[in-house]
């Protein structure tokens, strides 16, 4: 939970308040994972390892965060285009939709929804609904942010323009 709090405090309050909303939601969603074991077993429908698996696969989306942070740093430090900017941007444009949008769909379709009947038998169907809403919200927010990255053209997303970066 510390990652979500730190990231939300550092970046969420500056320009993109939706990041703050996203991280507060994720704190609620991931809170029962790990300790105490009762919450973990509840989220895993009696199997703590399932809850940890769902949480860990959700964190897979954070792979793209590395490239976002490097890009933020490059926007503030670069004076002219660098091939490293293009490489980082290509990694960001690849990992962001795959892990944040595709990953959410894979978790729902491959892990969570197939277990729905088991959760409902134990009176925990609302956890499936909550987690579904969480992943759909994450995928929608991520799709919107990805759109903002590419909406002005792929060239602008891949090649550094110092005058543009200063305005963003």
Q: Walk along the chain (168 residues) and give the pLDDT tens digit of each residue.
A: 455 566 666 665 665 666 677 667 777 666 666 566 676 677 777 777 777 777 777 778 889 989 988 998 899 899 999 999 999 999 999 999 999 899 888 888 988 899 899 889 988 888 889 889 888 888 898 899 899 999 999 999 999 988 765 555
Position 122 scores a pLDDT of 86
Position 98 scores a pLDDT of 95
Residue 112 · residue 105 · CB < 8 Å: no
Which residues, 6 or more positions from 41, have their beta carbon under 8 angstroms from its beta carbon? Answer: 47, 48, 51
Position 157 scores a pLDDT of 92
The whole model's pTM is what? 0.75
Tokens 């927010």 found at: 141
Position 59 scores a pLDDT of 79
Position 96 scores a pLDDT of 94
Residue 138 · residue 104 · CB < 8 Å: yes
**CA distances for 69 relative to 35, 62, 63, 65, 123, angstroms:** 30, 11, 11, 6, 41
Q: Taking the CA of residue 62 as centre, how many other CA atoms within 13 Å lie in the half-sphere pointing to its CB?
A: 11
- List the end-to-end C-alpha distance of the chain, in Å, as a whole number: 29
């Amino acid at each position: 939970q510390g990652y979500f709090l730190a990231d939300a405090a550092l970046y969420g309050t500056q320009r993109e308040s939706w990041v703050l909303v996203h991280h507060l939601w994720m704190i609620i969603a991931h809170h029962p994972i790990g300790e105490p074991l009762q919450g973990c077993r509840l989220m895993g429908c009696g199997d703590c390892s399932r809850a940890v698996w769902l949480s860990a696969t959700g964190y897979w989306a954070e792979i793209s965060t590395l490239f976002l942070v490097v890009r933020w740093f490059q926007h503030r430090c670069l004076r002219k285009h660098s091939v490293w900017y293009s490489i980082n941007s290509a990694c960001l444009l690849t990992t962001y939709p795959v892990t944040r949008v595709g990953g959410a769909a894979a978790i729902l379709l491959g892990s969570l929804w197939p277990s729905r009947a088991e959760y409902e038998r134990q009176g925990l169907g609302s956890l499936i609904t909550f987690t579904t809403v969480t992943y759909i919200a994450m995928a929608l927010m991520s799709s919107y942010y990805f759109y903002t990255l590419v909406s002005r053209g792929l060239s602008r997303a891949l090649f550094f323009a110092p005058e543009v970066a200063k305005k963003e």
